[in-house]
Amino acid sequence: MSSKIINLNTNRNLPVNKPILKWAGGKQQLWFEIEKYIPSNYNKYIEPFVGGGAIFFGLSPEKAVLSDTNPDLINLYEVVRDNVSNLIDILGNYHNDEEFYYFIRSQNPEKLSKLERAARTMFLNRTCYNGLYRVNKKGEFNVPFGKYKNPKICDEATLINASNALKGQILVCDDYLEVLNQYASEGDVIFLDPPYIPVSQYADFKRYTKHFFDNDDHRDLAEEVKRLYEMGCTVILTNSNHPLVHELYSDYKIEIHQTKRFINSKGNNRVGEDVIVLAQPNRKSIRVIKPKVPENQMEKFPGTRYMGSKQNLIGSIWDIAKQFKFESVLDAFSGSSVVGYMFKTKGKKVITNDFMSFSSNVAKSIIENNNVQLTVEDVDSLLIKGNGSGFIPKTFKGLYFSDDENIFIDDLRARIEMLDCPYKKAIAIAAICRACLKRRPRGIFTYVGNRYNDGRKDLQKSVHQHFLESVKLYNEAVFDNGQLNKSLNVDTMELSADCDLIYIDPPYYSPLSDNEYTRRYHFLEGVSTMWEGLEIQWETKTKKFKKYSTPFGNKDGAYDAFDQLFKKYQNSILMVSYSSNAFPTMDEMVHLMKKYKRNVDVHQIEHRYSFGNQAHKVNDNRNQVLEYIFVGY
């Protein structure tokens, strides 16, 4: 198709939010020209070269998938989404000083915490020369100090607005082709802003990361645009006004826009021409169809023995919840993931969170994941012997499993890391953790040896056999409910999610027993994280790691935590599962909730857990309790 030069038109919808970064090739000045091609109705928004995210933040869509190959960038957006208040606190201590700048720049981001790494990225962007992000072939940030008089290092309002826009959105650090193959579907809007083809010998638009994007990559991208267009997606692409762009996209509408280049060493050279390519199918042919969830889908949940699991209470929880009108749910302490999975089967948008990595991983495999399964070839590759580090056989020899089983787990976990797809990794990790639970007497790791082996069928199978069975179960549990669901692994007290209903099922505090999940499941958490960042207590028989901090470990902490959660989510429906043998008591919980909710209902259900909190140390009737479900509205 023919192309034409078009003047920028600003008589259109203003952006909802603005980006938090100054970014080479940012699209703020093309906002009006891109926004006019966004259809009024679409399935979800996908931006696999998100960069500064001007178009995403401008639209602030309800459902989005954002990705980039820049790990610092995606980490920053994750922290802004999940922990913006602490990020603001850290940035408040940073100052615009050249010596301080080079100190921060010299830090190895991979050795920093997520929060520290995000603050580093934000600070360098605000204070470096021209706000440029550039790395050398080693992946090291190498932009000099900007020497600005008073740069705004922390724009608190913009960060908070960005956090709200990112809530519930999927963030991925991966190649654009992987992301589009994984997430794109009919009716989506895809905005592609790849590294530009250089239009002069001095142009340098490609060095956002250590990986370059050459002409062959642009040809691959054009093939992907064709695939997306034929699938029924609206595709909007930007690039430089280069002959190759016109050659590759001659079948689509092309516009040329005169723009300013804000990142250039010479101000008088800060002009250029950008191309907008529009590949938009006939909108009459686009039908966004919400997948129908099979009626028996809940039966496919891969259950197992897990402390506090609500698998036997699912019917009661739904009977109570369905009385209210809601479309989105936060399962703030997801545990076994059975409640979040139930809400997914009901067609709700589900965000799950758990401080335990292995619990969060289960939710990622069957709640966030809508369609990926492990193939036979994947499983065969995982079962190849070798590649293990020897850590598990050496550290846990004679404690929980046989020597051969320890070697199997060690080799398998190493090979799981070789899987490219995060959802395939999640299924494999969930399967090996479930296999360890099923193989272990009582399904816990608070003791060593086999003294509780009662000969039941599960205990006669090897970890290998349980793994294969678990893979089959997790594969069968994967389904698409038409929502962009999300699994998080953060401190719930720092989390903030904009959901209609908040389901809270925290560790129950009781002076008669402990609620320490890490003590029971430390081995599974280690398998999930490969013991990265965990401090093993070598003097203990079980080789457990130092427990995670939780406010629910004592009575005062539990009271304060509930009060904070109720206050934070006072604009949502509150639903709390709690036990009659725990604190706060029923009356105290009602009092706490009524501080923020006009109406509080209490539902009482008789319930016997699969095993009690050290029931053998107290009385067996501790297993038989009343389960309270509090609802504030």
Which ranges of 461-507 does DSSP label H, i.e. alpha helix?
463-477
pLDDT on residue 204: 46
Please write the tens of the pLDDT for every residue from 311-324: 889 999 999 999 99
Do the domains at 70-170 and 297-632 have one common CATH topology? no
Q: Counting Cβ atoms within 10 Å, is residue 44 exposed (0-12), middle (13-18) or buried (19+)?
A: buried
CB 512 within 8 A of CB 613: yes
- Least confident window among 28-42, 392-406, 614-628: 614-628
Confidence tier at 374 by pLDDT (50, 70, 90): very high
Residues 6+ positions from 323 with CB-CB distance below 8 Å: none
pLDDT average, residue stretch 383-407: 96
Please compute the mean of the pLDDT values over residues 118-142 and round it to a whole number: 84
Residue 602 has pLDDT above 90, yes or no: yes
What is the rounded CA–CA span in Å between residue 599 and residue 576? 14
Secondary structure (3-state) at 490: coil
- Categorize the per-residue pLDDT at 618 as very low, low, confident or very high, splitting at 50, 70 and 90: very low
Mean pLDDT of 95-106: 91
The dihedrals phi and psi of 577, each to the nearest 5 degrees, come to: -95, 130
Whether pLDDT at 160 is above 50: yes
Residue count (the chain): 633
Task: Please determine, for residue 254, whether its predicted confidence score (pLDDT) is greater than 80.
Answer: yes
- Burial class from Cβ neighbours inside 10 Å (0-12, 13-18, 19+) for residue 284 reads exposed
pLDDT at 286: 44
Does position 136 have pLDDT exceeding 80, yes or no? no
**Separation between Cα atoms, residue 504 and residue 561, nearest integer Å:** 11
Distance between CA 146 and CA 132 in Å, rounded?
Answer: 10
Class assignment of domain 1-15+25-47+174-287?
alpha beta
User: What confidence score (pLDDT) does residue 267 get?
Assistant: 46
- Percent of residues, the chain, with pLDDT higher than 90: 63
pLDDT of amino acid 202: 45
pLDDT band at residue 611 using 50, 70 and 90 as cut-offs: very low
283, pLDDT greater than 90: no
| CATH 2.60.40.10 is the classification of domain 70-170 | no
Strands (E) located in 337-489? 349-353, 486-488
pLDDT-wise least confident of 433-447, 452-466, 573-587, 613-627: 613-627
DSSP state letters, 144-171: PB---SS--S--HHHHHHHHHHHTT-EE
Are the CB atoms for 339 and 505 separated by under 8 Å?
Answer: yes
Q: What is the pLDDT of residue 135?
A: 76
Give per-residue pLDDT as tens, 536-567: 999 999 999 998 888 888 889 999 999 999 99
Domain ranges of the chain: 1-15+25-47+174-287, 70-170, 297-632
236's CB contacts (< 8 A; 6+ apart) are: 34, 37, 38, 189, 190, 191, 192, 276, 277, 278, 279
- Banded model confidence at residue 624, pLDDT cuts 50, 70, 90: low
Q: pTM for the full model?
A: 0.66
Q: Which tens digit of pLDDT belongs to each residue from 186-220? A: 999 999 999 888 876 544 444 444 456 788 899 99
Helix (H, G, I), strand (E, B) or coil at 189: strand
pLDDT attached to residue 261: 57
Task: Please give the residue that has the higher pLDDT: either 212 or 79.
Answer: 79
State the fold for domain 297-632. Rossmann fold (3.40.50)
- What pLDDT, on a 0 to 100 scale, did the predictor assign at position 380? 96
In this predicted model, what pLDDT tens digit does every residue of 481-507 receive, in sequence order? 989 899 999 899 988 888 999 999 998
The strand ranges marked E within 111-215 are: 170-173, 189-192
Least trusted range by pLDDT, from 51-55, 262-266, 361-365, 402-406: 262-266
Higher pLDDT, 290 or 133: 133
Query: 231, 190 in Cβ contact below 8 A?
Result: no
